[in-house]
Structure 1
Amino acid sequence: MMTKNLLKQAGLDQGLPSHFEEGAWVEVIQRMDDIYTNLVQYQIELEEKNAELERAYTELKQAHQALKDTQQQLIQSEKMASLGRLVAGVAHELNNPISFVFANMHALLGYEKRFLQYLEAIHNNVSLAQREQLRKQLRIDRIMSDIRPLLEGSMEGAERVSEIVKNLRQFSTPASQKPEVFDLVALCKRTVLWLVRSASIKIEVVHDCPEQLMIYNYEGYVSQILVNLVQNALDAMEHQAQPCLSTALQIKDSQVWVQIRDNGTGINELDLHKLFDPFYTTKPIGKGTGLGLYISYGLATEQCRGSLSARNYYEKGQNGALFELSLPLKWSDAHG
């Protein structure tokens, strides 16, 4: 009866039949006890599951950050490999203005000696006739007329060197840059020039481009993509009798399409869908990393808001591979 009285005091006996026995009440309470115990157990398990989910989320976040860091390292590694491909061509490009500046400086040093000799004679109060004779002997008048062209030529050479170094810096440190306006035509021609000069074979180059095309994008990233595409084209023509590299720029649908075409053997149809996979390469061991096209695809689609594709072409009795890079003409029209 005690259990029944306790339930009555607690107001839990309402609506139950009067003949409900105490044994039944005990069974109900035990059942409720079991339910409460199960609820507590479920709550503990739920808290453990939440803790596991939090740990899994933290691990996933860390893995994602590690993946991003690894991707940046791969980009940096491939960028350095691409930079290495440019070295020979850049060295040749730097050699001309540096040689010009060196020759001009050598001439100016010789002129300095003549000026010092002439000024020393004036300071020693030589006669006017002796001074005029020395002036003709040292060719002072010719030197005076030659100094400005020498200085202007040296300045032009120094500016050319500065421009080349600036272009290399934009290529080597694209991650630190912001989008800016640049001439895509000049970038394409410069990239092709540097790489073709460093090639071990003589290559015919054909450009089908306007005089100038200004776009707003990441110049360093676009440069890295072009280096990889042009280098791939050069590698594909390594054993061709008459290698020819063609570039073309076309504007359609608010996009500029950059085409890099070679007259090599083309791409195996089975390889086409795997070209942009990481570490996939058809080149011999030690010749390629399998990361160039993979990284180029990521740069084109993510950083540059464009696209990158590849296909074979057959026209006018020629065949080869054709890579197409699309970039937005207007940044605001691009996705993202």
Structure 2
Amino acid sequence: MTAPMPKNESLTDQVSLPEQLPDAVGESVWIEVIQRMDTIYADLVHHQVELEEKNTALEQTYRQLQQTHEELKNTQQQLVQAEKMASLGRLVAGVAHELNNPISFILGNTHALAGYNRRLQTFFSGLEKLADPRVEELRRHSRIDRLLNDLDPLVEGSMEGAQRVGDIVDSLLRFTNPQPRQIAQFDICRLAHTATQWVLRAARNKPAVHFDMPESLNFYGYEGPVHQILVNLVHNAVDASENVDAPALWLTLQRQPQQLLISVRDNGAGIDPEHLNTIFDPFFTTKQSGKGTGLGLYISYLLATEQCGGQLRADNHIDGGAVFELTLPLNQQPLNQQPLNQQSLNRQGGECDRQQ
């Protein structure tokens, strides 16, 4: 290795000439050689400076090229995702239309069944007043009272389930035939509790649920899509913690500068890192055959991004399990309305932490 050339010295400054030279001719030749060497040295210093500048420019160009490459990769992924969504949108539209008619029949028949149930209740109440021993014996033998008691929750659950399926079909149809969206005010904390209770009602292994959010918070947004997203996320979390000894869920609401962050976390096995990039793809599922369609998270992602103007992300929590984060913009407000109450947004949620 050679030491770098000093940029502010000439070669003449570095070379010491002898005090005495043999003769005048030798002196002139020696001086000429030194001057030429000095010129060559100056050229070398100049070229070294140019080389350093070009190296700096090359490094900057490389960094710009690398950044452009990353942007192109992201754009490509977005284009592929958009094409998937477009293709699945057409498929989902067809499925939704096919489901719409039978769901309408089921919902209509369930309403009729509810009316028949009320008439049966009235009829058997009238028979009871006759005090006929034969009627009483037949009633006990056929367990009519038990049947009548079961009819109310069965009919109510069937109606609620059919209505939810109808809402999902309507949401699927809105993907392919979007209508003007209406922003309305609703209590987003109450909505989170309602969505959770709706899922837990049908869960076989009910987990402990912890809420970390205000008791009540009015929010301007799209109530139907947000409710469906939360139902899907809670349902997914319940399934993920099904095989845990002490299953638990955490629902948290946090205020950020321009958005609300709602997180749903479970204490299940978490998400395989190689699945994090495909978990919102249509028909992607890690559940056993017959236990999942792979459309729940896909639909939730579309609702969050396309209808609510927000974002939905998935990750593994540092304490174990998976966490899904739904962000909703705060600036979606009808005209002539006041902004969200900042004090209510900043309230701590420890007071409403509870188990269901």
TM-score for both structures, normalised by structure 1? 0.50
1:214 aligns with 2:218: yes
Segment drifting more, 170-179 vs 207-216: 170-179
Pairwise CA RMSD of aligned residues?
A: 4.4
Corresponding residue of 2:90: 70
Corresponding residue of 2:205: 201
Q: CA deviation at 1:218?
A: 1.9
Contact 1:215–1:330, Cα closer than 8 Å, also in 2: no
Alignment of 1:52-131 (within 5 A): 67=87, 70=90, 72-73=92-93, 76=96
| Pairing partner for 1:313 from 317, 321, 326 | 317
Task: Name the amino acid aligned to 2:323.
Answer: L
Corresponding residue of 2:229: 225
Q: CA deviation at 1:208?
A: 0.6
Corresponding residue of 1:257: 261
Partner Cα separation in structure 2 for residue 193 and residue 272 of structure 1: 28
SS in 1 for 2:318: strand
Number of residue-to-residue matches in the alignment: 207
SS in 2 for 1:299: helix
| Pairing partner for 1:293 from 290, 297, 301 | 297
SS in 2 for 1:193: helix
SS in 1 for 2:219: strand
SS in 2 for 1:314: coil
Corresponding residue of 1:236: 240
What is the identity percentage for the equivalent residue pairs of Structure 1 and Structure 2? 42
Q: CA deviation at 1:298?
A: 1.4
In structure 2, relative to structure 1, the CA distance for the partners of 1:215 and 1:67 (3 Å cut) is same
Q: CA deviation at 1:65?
A: 12
Corresponding residue of 2:330: 329
Deviations 1:233-283 (A, max 9, x none): 111111111000110111102201111010001111111111111221111
Partner Cα separation in structure 2 for residue 75 and residue 298 of structure 1: 17
SS in 1 for 2:274: coil
Q: CA deviation at 1:329?
A: 1.5
Partner Cα separation in structure 1 for residue 229 and residue 274 of structure 2: 23
Contact 2:220–2:333, Cα closer than 8 Å, also in 1: no
Partner Cα separation in structure 1 for residue 85 and residue 271 of structure 2: 35
Corresponding residue of 1:280: 284
Deviations 1:112-142 (A, max 9, x none): x9xxxxxxxxxxxxxxxxxxxxxxxxxxxxx
In structure 2, relative to structure 1, the CA distance for the partners of 1:170 and 1:283 (3 Å cut) is closer
Give 4+ residue runs of structure 1 displaced > 3 Å after superposition. Answer: 63-69, 74-77, 167-177
Partner Cα separation in structure 1 for residue 89 and residue 277 of structure 2: 27
Contact 1:183–1:214, Cα closer than 8 Å, also in 2: yes
TM-score for both structures, normalised by structure 2? 0.48
In structure 2, relative to structure 1, the CA distance for the partners of 1:322 and 1:74 (3 Å cut) is farther
Task: Name the amino acid aligned to 2:254.
Answer: Q
Q: CA deviation at 1:181?
A: 1.5
Q: CA deviation at 1:294?
A: 1.6
In structure 2, relative to structure 1, the CA distance for the partners of 1:208 and 1:294 (3 Å cut) is same
